[in-house]
Amino acid sequence: MEREAIKEAVKEAFQEELKAFYIDRETHYKQHEWLAGMIQYCEQCKSIVLKTIVTAIIAGTLGLLWLGFSLKSAVK
């Protein structure tokens, strides 16, 4: 019987300690929806930034090629 009393005391202690961390189901669900939206937004931003960087590198390379060929043609 002592084992059951210990189990009950531990259970009550946990319930008392965890009350401060309780979040109702609706709030918890809304927090997960918000987090999912933020994750999607961050992935979208990352995609846009990477596309912009790649485009800038390609445009810069093409610009340097054009400049090099223009200077080469002008020197002749």
Report the C-alpha dihedral over residues 27, 32, 36, 38, rounded to 10 degrees. Answer: 60
Cα within 13 Å of Cα(28), Cβ side: 5
Q: Which residue has the higher pLDDT, 18 or 65?
A: 65
- pLDDT mean across residues, the chain: 91
pLDDT of residue 12: 87
pLDDT of residue 15: 84
- Per-residue tokens: 44: 């979208």
Confidence of residue 43 (pLDDT cuts 50, 70, 90): very high
